[in-house]
Structure 1
């Protein structure tokens, strides 16, 4: 995937990058306006409660995002790992054929992380921090790579079991070849546009405390405009094979949206626009490719 496209709007996983992509429970997360995955996780985990760290948490992708690289969520990395590097920002373990990274600084210096990666031989791996909502509690981890055999995983377990003060943890193939880039969420500065979508109803966001989920499009649009905000639409089409997840059709014109259709969720990039994720009604026909 072209590096310039990956986080422009959504990670933003850019809206353009998400078009036609399938979002599943195991992978394809920053390429979704990941809200659907967040809702799925809420149901599966009875909405995990996050303990706020004294540091600002590394923020971002609800579980994590696989941009160009393969991505899976695993229950734990902690078995059989041996520490090979440690600093204030990151601890690195060697676990079989992978390195495991435990992030302990919510807004780390990319240069410090770069140095840590080089210490374990990952000379071609770079790190970029992306702005996300200060209210984002799930860690955002993006990964782009040129090595087709490289694999990256992110744990949903409490990484503090392994490293005190850990905020998020992920692993990557130790013998990765070619250039690769990690993207980690950091709290956005006041007024800064997010690179990853946030629930518009979160405290401090554009529609703080206002729930649009389940309302008709017509009603939701009225609420958005009452707040002097603009509206954009994304359609969530069920997967053709009946699997769990949806395909996102982005930037859908209002002329194709039935006012009676229901809103699945509403997200924002802190740019004055509310993106309504809409569930097409019965009988709606998806465009080619969906």
Structure 2
């Protein structure tokens, strides 16, 4: 959860919006779309260009079970309660704010920091993302239905020197919870979150498929000895900006003349073409 995504739009995403979802096209993210990130169901996201920054995770925020809210700032009225080389923690009202300063942090070190402020049931899992990803991927899976997590659009480096990403979580969270934080994938390792297939070092480095017809884009993908998969980006209803992604769409439902919006890779030999449905196309139930 393309990075390039919903963060710059400062959108509010609630649980019901994320039902059955995956991220934003690539910070396309950030965030639902995963539990262990093994599968990516349908997701709602905004499409924006992907900035290139120092790597902490991925170009997006991925949200797991629980609401994820993108806010302009987390810094107002906060007070530092813990600091290490990997993370600084502030208390801000009824939330803790985390400033990550290590691009490939040690989960044990982060969990130790969380316990220092009483967050004894929070664990950390690092997930492989594209080494080219320049925005953080932060996922949050929790048992407490009232717990909330948020990320900031502001430059967290203004608050903590060397900060790569910042996010907050409800201080009195009940039950177990797990943060999923992006880390650069090893050579040949499958990504847990999609990357733009045209990025340097990726399967279609320098090849722009956006705006091409599905037929032409699929031909180019196969010429690179890669397989093709499809997703449909259905515009949100009610005039809202953004779209919801229908994944694993069979080729029989794709009109070859429709246009490609983005091309994603998980570094597994498959390119997923995200297609904009043409005029008159009817979305399935739920879209």
State the TM-score, normalizing by the size of structure 1: 0.85
Superposed CA offset, 1:242-275 (max 9, x none): 3122121111111111100000100000000000
Partner of 1:40: 47
The answer for the alignment partner of 1:26 in structure 2 is 12
Match of 2:177 among 180, 184, 191: 180
Q: What's the secondary structure of 1:212's corresponding residue?
A: coil
Alignment partner of 1:151 is 2:160: no
Aligned to 2:210: 213
Quote the offset at 1:216 in angstroms: 0.1
Change (3 A) 1:186 1:88: same
Counterpart of 1:86 (choices 75, 83, 87) is: 83
Q: Do residues 196 (structure 1) and 193 (structure 2) align? A: yes
RCO (CA 8 Å, sep 6+): is it higher in 1 or 2?
1
Shift of 1:149: 1.1
Shift of 1:48: 4.9
Deviation (angstroms), 1:199: 0.2
1:163 maps to which residue? 160
Assess if the C-alpha contact under 8 Å between 1:61 and 1:141 holds in 2: no
User: Partners of 2:279 and 2:192 in 1: how far apart?
Assistant: 33
- Residue pair 1:61, 1:196 contacting (<8 A) in 2 also: no
Structure-2 residue corresponding to 1:133 = 130
C-alpha displacement of 1:104: 0.5
Shift in Å at residue 148 of structure 1?
1.2
CA–CA distance in structure 2, aligned partners of residues 189 and 83 of structure 1: 34
- Pick from 243, 258, 263: which aligns with 1:261? 258
Q: Work out the CA distance in 2 between the residues paired with 1:34 and 1:286.
A: 19
Q: Distance in 1 between matches of 2:97 and 2:86?
A: 14
Q: Please report how far the alpha carbon of residue 241 of structure 1 lies from its aligned counterpart in structure 2 after TM superposition.
A: 2.3
Cα distance between partner residues in 2 of 1:228 and 1:103: 39
For 2:103 and 2:112, how far apart are their aligned partners in 1?
Answer: 17
Deviates more, 1:118-127 or 1:235-244: 235-244
CA distance in 1, matches of 2:11, 2:47: 7
Which runs of structure 2 are paired with 1:117-132 in the superposition (5 Å)?
117-132=114-129
The runs of at least 4 aligned residues of structure 1 exceeding 4 Å deviation read none
What does the per-residue CA deviation read over 1:53-73, in whole Å, with 9 as the maximum and x for residues that have no partner?
xxxx211252x2321111111
How far 1:78 sits from its partner (Å)? 1.3
| SS in structure 1 at match of 2:99 | strand
Unaligned runs of 5+ in 1: 1-10, 13-23
TM-score, normalization: structure 2?
0.85
CA displacement 1:22-45 (0-9 Å, x = unmatched) = xx9433689434207636343xxx
Q: Which runs of 5+ in 2 are unaligned?
A: 3-9, 29-45
Classify 1:288/1:197 alpha carbon distance in 2 versus 1 (closer, same or farther; 3 Å).
same
Q: What's the Cα RMSD here?
A: 2.1
Give me the whole-angstrom Cα distance separating, in 2, the residues matched to 1:36 and 1:93: 29
